[in-house]
Amino acid sequence: MNAHTDFTALKTRQQTAWASGDYAVIGTTLQIVGEQLAEACDLRFDERVLDVAAGNGNATLAAGRRGCKVTSTDYVPLLLERGAERARAEGLQVDFQTADAEALPFADGSFDVVLSTFGVMFTPDQGRAADEMARVCRPGGRVGLANWTPEGFIGQLFKTLGRHVPPPPDVQPPSRWGVESNLRSFFGDRAASVAVTSKDFNFRYRSAAHFIDVFRTWYGPVHKAFAALPPDKAAALESDMTNLLNSLNRGGAHSLVVPSTYLEVVITRR
């Protein structure tokens, strides 16, 4: 990334994008990913767990359900409120704290496990975010991640958005976190081991039109992309998204089931 990239300005734009819809509407459908990651990390009762870029708290809830002492962080306060509502409904004791994934306000080695499901991968300074996750994880602890891959549906969706609303120059795509070699580079010699499993999450909607309606209303990046385009160009984006969804649909003519590949990652801290 270019040395002159203004991360502060970029992060402000990202915060605005993620706050522009209500990611919780989408996020709750992804709960199974948090549950599976909690099992992959073999969470233990009373372990100290940090959820980074937690969104509305899928990994947070999964850890809380397993008796962990959970701190849930995000830089969008509204999403933390959504997570807190869910935790209260289940009677889970969780500490919710507004925090930047690139500057975590915790001491070195504060947590046994550090998690992020489809969250930290969207940070603009990717190396810094990886450094911070490794720093706050104790030696022998685990860093657990769920990251969309470049070739999977969500990776292709972001490429489609980028063709219509180009991202800022010099900014690396979030899907870099969905490539095993990049993860090994991010964490370097701080990782004693890196276990990677390729998995699919199935997006289930009535149709391509239903998916697009939900995402352009509630999912910040898609919402902002449509809002930035004049009607004719928005129609072109909608057409491209429709074609992508239909090309991947395995739900038949009367439903939409689109698998999206992600990497489930468990890094043991050296």
pLDDT digits (tens, 9 = 90+) for 189-211: 999 999 999 999 999 999 999 99
Confidence of residue 5 (pLDDT cuts 50, 70, 90): low
Q: What is the pLDDT of residues 107-124, one digit of tens each?
A: 999 999 999 999 999 999
Mean pLDDT of 210-220: 96
- In percent, the amount of the chain with pLDDT more than 90 equals 90
- Mean pLDDT (the chain) is 95
3-state secondary structure of 240: helix
pLDDT at 1 over 50: no
Q: How far apart are CA 249 and CA 261, in angstroms?
A: 14
Mean pLDDT calculated for residue range 75-99: 97
Residues 231, 209: Cα–Cα separation, whole Å:
17
- Domains and their CATH numbers in the chain: 7-204+260-269 (3.40.50.150)
The model's confidence at residue 237, banded by pLDDT at 50, 70 and 90, is very high
In this prediction, residue 12 carries a pLDDT of 84
Between CA 73 and CA 90 the distance in angstroms is: 19
Looking at residues 174-199, what average pLDDT do you find? 98
Name which residue leads in pLDDT, 142 or 20.
Answer: 142
pTM, full prediction: 0.95
Provide, for the chain, the percentages of residues in helix, strand and coil under a 3-state DSSP scheme, each rounded to the nearest 5: 50, 25, 25
Q: Determine the average pLDDT of the residues in 86-104.
A: 98
Q: Mean pLDDT across the stretch 81-85?
A: 97
